[in-house]
C-alpha cells in the first residue's frame, strides 16, 4: 500500500484529500505544519508528498527545497497543491524540484489520478534493462541512481524519468507534447513550459548534456547519438 504524506493546513482540504486517497487504497498521513514534513519523513518514509504552498512554519517552497537537498528524500515525488495559479508560481515550484502542480480549487479525483500516474511512471522499469549508459552517464534503473564518471548525481523523480525516456529514445526528435504524454503520463494542464524547466534542470545537473541534448526550435528536444569511441592508431613499428 503506497504511503502518501499530505502537508496541508486547511483541515477541510486535507480531510477531503485524505478521504479520496484512502478510498483509492493509499495509506495517508496528514500534517498541517511545514516544519513537520522532514521529521515525519525521517520517521516514516513516504512514496509521495502532497505539499501545500502556503504552510505555516515553513512555506511549501522552502520545504520542497529542503526535501531535494536531503539525500534521503531527494527522489521522493512531490505534488504541489496551492491557490497560486500564476505561471511564475508554477515555474518556481518546478524549478525547486516539484514533479507536479495543482491549483485550488481542484478535483479530488484528478489529484488521485495524478498521484496514481506519477507513481505508475516510477514503477515502469523494464526488468531486462537494469542499466542505461550514455557517454560518462550511467543509470541504475533498479536503484534509481544516476552517476557521471562514477560520481552520483541526485535527480528528482520526474528528472529521472525524463532522462530515462530521452536515453531510451536517443537520436529521435521528441515533441514537448509527446514528452508530456509519455513522461507525465496524462494530459498535463500546466502547459509545455514544464518540459523546458525540467530539461534546463537536467542540463544544469549534467553539464555534458548542454551539447548532447539539443533544442529543436518550436518543437521539442533531441538527445544526440553519442559519438563513437575511436581507438588511437597503433604505434608503427620501425
Q: Range with the lowest mean pLDDT among 55-69, 112-126, 169-183, 197-211?
A: 112-126
Where are the domains positioned within the chain? 3-123, 131-223
Q: What is the dihedral of CA 38, 196, 220, 211, to 10 degrees?
A: -90
| Tens digits of residue pLDDT in 144-181 | 889 999 899 989 888 999 999 999 888 888 888 888 88
| pLDDT tens per residue, range 67-89 | 888 878 877 889 998 887 666 77
pLDDT band for 231, please (50, 70, 90 cuts): very low
Q: Which top CATH class is 3-123?
A: alpha beta
Predicted structure pTM score = 0.65
- Give domain 131-223's CATH architecture: Orthogonal Bundle (1.10)
The pLDDT tens digits for 183-202 are 876 555 556 788 899 999 99
Amino acid at each position: 500500500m503506497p504511503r502518501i504524506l499530505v502537508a496541508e493546513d486547511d483541515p477541510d482540504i486535507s480531510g477531503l484529500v485524505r478521504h479520496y486517497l484512502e478510498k483509492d487504497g493509499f495509506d495517508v498521513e496528514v500534517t498541517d505544519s511545514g516544519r513537520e514534513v522532514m521529521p515525519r519523513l525521517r520517521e516514516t518514509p513516504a512514496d509521495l508528498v502532497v505539499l501545500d504552498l502556503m504552510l505555516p512554519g515553513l512555506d511549501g517552497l522552502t520545504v520542497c527545497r529542503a526535501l531535494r537537498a536531503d539525500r534521503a528524500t531527494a527522489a521522493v515525488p512531490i505534488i504541489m497543491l496551492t491557490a497560486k495559479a500564476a505561471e511564475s508560481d508554477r515555474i518556481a515550484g518546478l524549478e525547486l524540484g516539484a514533479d507536479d502542480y495543482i491549483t485550488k480549487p481542484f478535483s479530488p479525483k484528478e489529484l488521485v489520478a495524478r498521484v496514481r500516474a506519477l507513481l505508475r511512471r516510477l514503477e515502469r522499469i523494464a526488468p531486462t534493462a537494469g542499466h542505461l549508459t550514455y557517454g560518462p552517464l550511467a543509470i541504475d534503473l533498479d536503484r534509481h541512481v544516476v552517476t557521471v564518471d562514477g560520481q552520483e548525481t541526485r535527480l528528482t523523480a520526474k528528472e529521472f524519468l525524463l532522462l530515462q525516456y530521452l536515453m531510451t529514445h536517443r537520436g529521435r526528435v521528441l515533441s514537448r507534447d509527446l514528452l508530456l504524454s509519455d513522461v507525465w503520463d496524462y494530459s498535463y494542464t500546466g502547459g509545455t513550459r514544464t518540459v523546458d524547466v525540467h530539461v534546463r534542470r537536467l542540463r544544469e545537473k549534467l553539464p555534458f548534456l548542454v551539447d548532447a541534448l539539443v533544442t529543436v526550435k518550436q518543437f521539442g528536444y533531441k538527445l544526440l547519438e553519442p559519438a563513437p569511441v575511436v581507438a588511437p592508431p597503433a604505434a608503427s613499428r620501425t
